[in-house]
């Protein structure tokens, strides 16, 4: 078991990647994004307590799979992140091997059934104060393939990317398909999207307060801003840092003014009043009403046990 969140950022991608490799042995189906996200949150649940609260909703809303809230109780500053998960396609398609350079995230252009809108547009439109990110689940065999192994940015079992960058790639693909003559761009391929990727460590290894366990919103926001401004390569052309700053999402540079106070309760909650699974990282804890009381246990049974005590 990982000793802390930063160590988990290293071990969890290997676990996810290995699970994806082993799905070939399944008699039916494959691991869906929801299953892999459940594995991720379950791994984080091992650290649930006064500084990390996990809330599971009754029903999941569209526009994202997971919310991460980095909350400093004393200052009330927040850095909010909304995650949409996608998994890499299998190494075979209808019994035929898929070249490693052609492996892709097939569902990136998924449409939301209720609205018939592309999911990536919904993710951006409904993000609000949350910075939207994509979380990509990759097979360990793909990350260790010579095509990707040792390259930069590093491909791992779990990678992140700014949704604004991925949305731009997808829009370029759609625009090209509407041209006459029609052009086919391979902008869903891992090999094409790799320049946009970064690791889970950017979030989970961000700085903590002295004696603290979880990253602070200041540290997370600073690391996100640095990553956004990193010079990226797009079709062999360098994107200058100045242009990246002009296109910077407002959520990168500013704190959320949302004032949702996490209510007192257990560290892991089921049937919570949240639109999607929400992980709240609480730093800057105080001894007054600004900081909720978090006790051990899960959901209603923990609350009943606490009342009896």
Three-class SS of 150-200 = CCCCCCCCEEEEEHHHHHHHHHHHHHHHCCCCCCCCCCCEHHHHHHHCEEC
What is the spatial distance between Cα 242 and Cα 41, in angstroms, rounded to a whole number?
A: 36
Q: Rounded to whole angstroms, what are the CA distances from 164 to 48, 221, 247, 252, 257?
A: 31, 16, 9, 11, 21
Task: Note the pTM of the prediction, 2 decimals.
Answer: 0.90
Q: What is the full per-residue pLDDT of the chain (309 aa) written as tens digits? A: 789 999 999 999 999 999 999 987 786 778 899 999 999 999 999 999 999 999 999 876 666 689 999 999 999 899 999 999 999 999 988 889 999 999 999 999 999 888 889 999 999 999 988 999 999 999 999 999 999 999 999 999 999 999 999 999 999 999 999 998 889 999 999 999 999 999 999 999 999 999 999 999 999 999 998 898 876 555 444 555 555 666 778 777 666 655 677 899 999 999 888 999 999 999 999 999 989 999 876 654 444 333 333
CA distance 84 to 166: 11
* Tokens 């992980």 sit on residue: 279
Residues paired with residue 298 on neighbouring β-strands, in sequence order: 268
N-to-C CA span, the chain? 31
Q: How far apart (Å, rounded) are the C-alpha atoms in residues 67 and 81?
A: 6
């Amino acid at each position: 078991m990982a000793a802390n969140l930063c160590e988990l950022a290293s071990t969890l991608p290997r676990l996810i990647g290995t699970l994806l490799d082993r799905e070939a042995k399944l008699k039916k189906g494959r691991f869906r994004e929801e299953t892999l996200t459940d594995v991720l949150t379950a791994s984080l649940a091992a650290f649930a307590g006064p500084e990390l609260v996990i809330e599971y909703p009754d029903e999941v809303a569209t526009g994202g799979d997971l919310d991460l809230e980095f909350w400093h109780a004393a200052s009330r500053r927040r850095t909010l992140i909304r995650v949409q998960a996608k998994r890499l396609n299998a190494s075979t398609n209808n019994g035929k091997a898929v070249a490693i350079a052609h492996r892709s995230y097939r569902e990136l252009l998924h449409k939301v059934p209720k609205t018939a809108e592309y999911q990536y547009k919904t993710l951006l439109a409904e993000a609000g104060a949350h910075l939207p990110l994509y979380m990509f689940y990759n097979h360990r065999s793909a990350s260790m393939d010579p095509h990707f192994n040792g390259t930069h940015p590093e491909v791992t079992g779990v990678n992140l990317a700014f949704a604004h960058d991925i949305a731009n790639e997808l829009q370029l693909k759609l625009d090209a398909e509407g041209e006459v003559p029609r052009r086919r761009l391979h902008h869903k391929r891992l090999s094409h999207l790799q320049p946009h990727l970064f690791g889970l460590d950017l979030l989970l290894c961000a700085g903590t307060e002295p004696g603290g366990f979880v990253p602070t919103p200041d540290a997370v926001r600073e690391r996100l801003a640095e990553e956004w401004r990193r010079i990226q390569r797009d079709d062999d052309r360098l994107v200058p840092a100045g242009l990246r700053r002009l296109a910077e999402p407002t959520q990168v540079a500013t704190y959320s003014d949302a004032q949702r106070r996490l209510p007192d309760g257990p560290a892991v909650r089921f049937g919570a009043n949240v639109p999607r699974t929400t992980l709240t990282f609480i730093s800057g804890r105080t001894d007054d009403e600004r900081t909720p009381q978090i006790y051990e246990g899960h959901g209603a049974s923990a609350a009943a046990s606490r009342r009896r005590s």
